[in-house]
Chain A
Amino acid sequence: MSVIIILLIASIAVAGIFLGAFLWSVKSGQFEDDYSPASRILFDDGPSPPIDPGSKKQTPICK
């Protein structure tokens, strides 16, 4: 049963990591704005420029 000590230490350590993560995220301002990040991922980028067949940059992955 004394193995429970190891469990204790492990669990507190893991919880401590989460506490650290919480403090870090508040400090870096992640909770300041809870609306924009949600909308930001939904933005479309404009249509990508057409692929120039003569260009060397783009090679099709499969033919």
Chain B
Amino acid sequence: MVYEIINQNDLCKYYDLNLNPGVNQRVTVRPDKFSFLDDKVISQRLITFKDEQQTHVTFYLPQIHCSSCLYLLENLYKFDEGIISSKVNFTRKEVEIVYLNSLTSLRKTAELLTSIGYEPYISLNDLKEKRPPIDKSMIYRLGVAGFCFGNIMLMSFPEYLGIDVSEVGLRAIFRWANFMLAIPVLLYSAMPFYESAVKSLKRKFLNIDAPIAVAIIITFIRSAYEVLWARGGGYFDSMTGIVFFMLAGRILQDKTYRQLSFERDYTSYFPIAVSVVKENKEIPTMLPDLKMGDTLLIHNEELIPVDGILTRGKAFIDYSFVTGESLPVPKGVGEIVYAGGKQTGAGIELLVIKEVTNSYLTKLWSRDEVRQTGQKKSSSFVDGLARHFSYILFSLVIITAVYWWLNDTSKIWAAVTAMLIIACPCALLLSNTFTNGNVLRILGRNHFYLRNAQVIESIASSDHIVFDKTGTLTSAREYDISYKGRTLSSKQEKQIVSLAACSSHPLSRALASNVGKDAKLTVTSFREIAGQGIEGFVNNVLVRLGSYEFVTGGRQVATGTVIYVGFDNILWGMYNFKNHYRRSVPLLFTRLKHTYKLSVISGDNNSEAEALRKIAGAGVDIQFRQRPEDKLRYICSLQKTGSRVMMIGDGLNDAGALKQSDAGIAVADETNSFTPASDAIIDAGQLSKLDRFIYLCKANKKIVIASFILSVLYNLIGLFFAVQGTLSPLIAAILMPSSSLSILLITFGCSNLIARSLKL
């Protein structure tokens, strides 16, 4: 912990002052950590250049953040003789190292970097698809367009400022200069628009680039006609202006989008914690903190977050999340177990062999939704409008052209081009994408991770919230446990703990950690029956933990949350759990009650009814003794009455209910209980902010609509003037990207403002 603080805050200066050899303040690197880099095939993928003497390699170091890091890394040659040079690319957080093959190796370089605190992030998953080089061709095109545009503007001064009509020769020279300058723009800079328009034409519909491409070509042809037949000066300034401003807008759009998706893939938070075994203790660790070589303990029904080698236990992996096939695959000790699977059975231990990639898990999650529902959810009406936009526009243009042709032919020209230019549907598409992206980012920062942008809509439109009790409203970590019954021998306690450790149910985990014995005896034939209990053979004794019915077969009205324990079919005693409700729950309920109907469903018996009623307050529907099927049925019944249900559970025995609800949110409390049936994951500590999150999602829709209306207004006003022929195409060319820019500012600005006012 302390080390991390030093690491993140003072690392740079700390190590700076100790560049002198002899004072060893470095991180000790586990000796085998980078042994995989000795392998030729793997190192091939990382190396950018190699000959007999030198090797060039580029490492991605996410810890780079200040100029001291820059200083330290560029002085790498002082640490190791084998390193000739190192160059940092700060924006991409990469360092390119050149080293001598004879004196050092790829592995030693990686170890050196780790020892000074800059562990390279080597993800073999990413290496399979080389990171695409930044597309510079757009920038070239922009440069050419800007050059031509500026010079054409200059050359147009004489024409605009009233060159003497008698100076025919000079006037012609300027016009021809403009003509020449416009050609590279037409043929080179405007290419992306033509390609896009043609591509969409092939698919039999018109996208938003079609009007622009048409506008450019029409303007050029008209201007060329005027110059060649000496009828006028042409409109080359408008034409090149369109191209220049549109390209600038497009580049800005791409950059923003790339930034958003980068953040989502690499820095977003997938709030799963896995148990890491360190010195015989289980420490829950968050995904980003998992390191290669860690030993993970995966319990029953837990997700395997990263590729690993099975080192202990019998694995039956359910890969339905990855392949759709739910028949568990058995794996033996020493075999590789791939990420995305779910363990069904007793606990297993895995040795991590690869880095965790959040993006892989996110991809699986999104894909799973498509597989489950069979098709993408219907796109919003904004998409529908965008598609028809071009048709509407072209018909308007034709009507206007005909009108002016009949009345005043001099205006056709200006009207048509201005209309084609000013009508910009880009704002319609932009506002949706950017607002959603920004909201996802803000929520992710607050440890509320949504599967995709559609979930924002589902959350915003829900009107009935259903809470699961155990694990959601109660804190899985704080339980008062007391035992009543026949005395348990130490051996029996060990058996109980070993059995309980196999399950990830909050009561089992609480039992395992509170009973106090650490021993891990092997459990065979482990079975967990959701809502009932767990059983298994430990030291050839059948141990059962669960409800009275499960352990003894008889019925009993229990008081309180009780786990009965039985050995070899003989009831031995019971553990009494006193629920600890999360402190934030009563307040949350009061706040939510104003706008939502609330329910609490629980698999427990109703001994807790009074306590729960006090916490939830009046007007909340509380259901007890709900088995997983009952929970599902409850959600269905609510939906039949027309409610849109948001369900919040821990994903263990309410997976079906989570999937059925319109928005299913899983609560993660230092657990690894990820369920793909959920639409969002929220960190337990953030549950008190639920009402604010919902508010932000609702605001999202309002912002999109507001910017949509604004862009429609833009279009209407612009078209109003364009139709009359009073709008110069050049002004239109400037107004268009500025409208896109203003939409961008509004969407980002509003969502950030609202988030800040909510204190998110």
- A contacts, CB < 8 Å to B: 1-2, 4-5, 8, 12, 15-16, 18-19, 22-23, 26-27, 32-36, 39-40, 42-43
A12 neighbours in B (Cβ, 8 Å): 151, 177
Please pick, from B140, B143, B167, the residue contacting A1 in the complex, using a CB distance under 8 A: B167
Contacts A1-B170, A43-B71 given; indicate if A26 touches B88 (C-beta within 8 A): no
| Distance, CA A22 to CA B90, complexed state (A) | 22
Are B139 and A35 in contact (CB-based, < 8 A)?
no
Give B164-179 as 1s and 0s: 1 = Cβ < 8 Å from A's Cβ atoms: 0001011001000100
Instruction: For residue B168, give the distance in angstroms from its CB to the closest CB of chain A.
Output: 12
- 8 residue pairs of the A-B complex, CB under 8 angstroms, read A4-B170, A23-B144, A32-B91, A32-B134, A33-B88, A33-B92, A36-B88, A39-B67
A2 neighbours in B (Cβ, 8 Å): 169-170
- B contacts, CB < 8 Å to A: 67, 70-71, 74, 88-92, 134, 136, 139-140, 143-144, 147, 150-151, 155, 167, 169-170, 173, 177
B151 neighbours in A (Cβ, 8 Å): 12, 15
| Distance, CA A51 to CA B70, complexed state (A) | 30
Closest to B91 in A: A33
| Distance, CA A16 to CA B150, complexed state (A) | 12
Closest to B66 in A: A39
Are B74 and A19 in contact (CB-based, < 8 A)?
no
Instruction: For residue A15, give the distance in angstroms from its CB to the closest CB of chain B.
Output: 6
Instruction: For residue B59, give the distance in angstroms from its CB to the closest CB of chain A.
Output: 15
| Distance, CA A50 to CA B16, complexed state (A) | 23
Closest to A38 in B: B67
Are A35 and B90 in contact (CB-based, < 8 A)?
yes
B89 neighbours in A (Cβ, 8 Å): 32-33, 36
Besides A33-B92, A39-B70, 9 new A-B residue pairs in contact (Cβ under 8 A), listed by A number: A12-B151, A18-B147, A23-B144, A27-B136, A32-B89, A33-B88, A33-B91, A34-B91, A35-B90
Contacts A2-B170, A26-B140, A27-B136 given; indicate if A36 touches B90 (C-beta within 8 A): yes
| Distance, CA A2 to CA B147, complexed state (A) | 25
| Distance, CA A39 to CA B67, complexed state (A) | 6
B177 neighbours in A (Cβ, 8 Å): 8, 12
Contacts A1-B167, A15-B151 given; indicate if A36 touches B70 (C-beta within 8 A): yes
Are B170 and A19 in contact (CB-based, < 8 A)?
no
Contacts A19-B147, A36-B70, A40-B74 given; indicate if A26 touches B139 (C-beta within 8 A): yes
Please pick, from A5, A8, A33, the residue contacting B90 in the complex, using a CB distance under 8 A: A33
Contacts A32-B92, A35-B90 given; indicate if A5 touches B140 (C-beta within 8 A): no
Instruction: For residue B706, give the distance in angstroms from its CB to the closest CB of chain A.
Output: 34
Instruction: For residue A32, give the distance in angstroms from its CB to the closest CB of chain B.
Output: 6
Are B143 and A19 in contact (CB-based, < 8 A)?
yes
| Distance, CA A23 to CA B136, complexed state (A) | 10
Instruction: For residue B23, give the distance in angstroms from its CB to the closest CB of chain A.
Output: 16
Instruction: For residue B250, give the distance in angstroms from its CB to the closest CB of chain A.
Output: 16
| Distance, CA A9 to CA B213, complexed state (A) | 31
Are B144 and A19 in contact (CB-based, < 8 A)?
yes
Closest to B150 in A: A15
Contacts A33-B90, A35-B91, A36-B89 given; indicate if A43 touches B169 (C-beta within 8 A): no
Contacts A19-B144, A23-B143, A36-B70 given; indicate if A8 touches B92 (C-beta within 8 A): no
Q: Which 8 residue pairs are nearest across A and B when measured between Cβ atoms? A: A35-B90, A39-B67, A36-B90, A19-B147, A33-B89, A33-B91, A22-B143, A39-B70
| Distance, CA A52 to CA B451, complexed state (A) | 69
| Distance, CA A19 to CA B91, complexed state (A) | 25
B91 neighbours in A (Cβ, 8 Å): 32-35
| Distance, CA A1 to CA B70, complexed state (A) | 57
| Distance, CA A32 to CA B94, complexed state (A) | 12
Contacts A23-B140, A33-B91 given; indicate if A8 touches B147 (C-beta within 8 A): no
| Distance, CA A36 to CA B92, complexed state (A) | 11
| Distance, CA A23 to CA B169, complexed state (A) | 34
B90 neighbours in A (Cβ, 8 Å): 33, 35-36, 39
Instruction: For residue B413, give the distance in angstroms from its CB to the closest CB of chain A.
Output: 28
Instruction: For residue A21, give the distance in angstroms from its CB to the closest CB of chain B.
Output: 10
| Distance, CA A16 to CA B140, complexed state (A) | 14
| Distance, CA A27 to CA B140, complexed state (A) | 9
